[in-house]
Amino acid sequence: MPVGIVTWIVSKTDKRYEISFVNLDTYYSFPNVDYTNNHFSYSPDGGGIWYHILIPEDSYDIENINRVIQQKIKQNGHAANVTKRNTNTLNAVSSCA
């Protein structure tokens, strides 16, 4: 697993700092989608009819899970899903186009 720091970070001892991961790639990953959270429901007509998708168990990043959801929505004959991510807040928002 490659890790690199371009320059050393010098911190002041009288300040408090926090740090978080934005991305972590590992060879042996645990699935972040499993049978407890693999259900995705959407309504292309504003709530009249709901379609349900089962997402296969795997370890996904936002782009990959978006790709799987888009593929399954297209298989149902509907417009693709759009996912916008915010790496600052670590949130993702999905909407049907």
Chain segment 70-79, per-residue pLDDT in tens? 899 899 998 8
Q: Which residues of 22-58 are buried (b: 16+ CB within 10 A; e: fewer)?
A: eeeeeeeeeeebeeeeeebebebeeeeeeeebebeee
At 38 the pLDDT is 93
Domain coordinates in residue numbering, the chain: 1-97
At 19 the pLDDT is 78
Say which amino acid occupies 49.
I
- Is the pLDDT at 13 greater than 90? The verdict is no
Beta strands in the chain (DSSP E): 39-42, 51-54, 81-86, 91-96
Neighbours of 92 (CB within 10 A): 13
Q: Is the pTM of this model over 0.85?
A: no
Query: Do 78 and 51 form a contact (C-beta atoms < 8 A)?
Result: yes
Query: Do 94 and 69 form a contact (C-beta atoms < 8 A)?
Result: yes
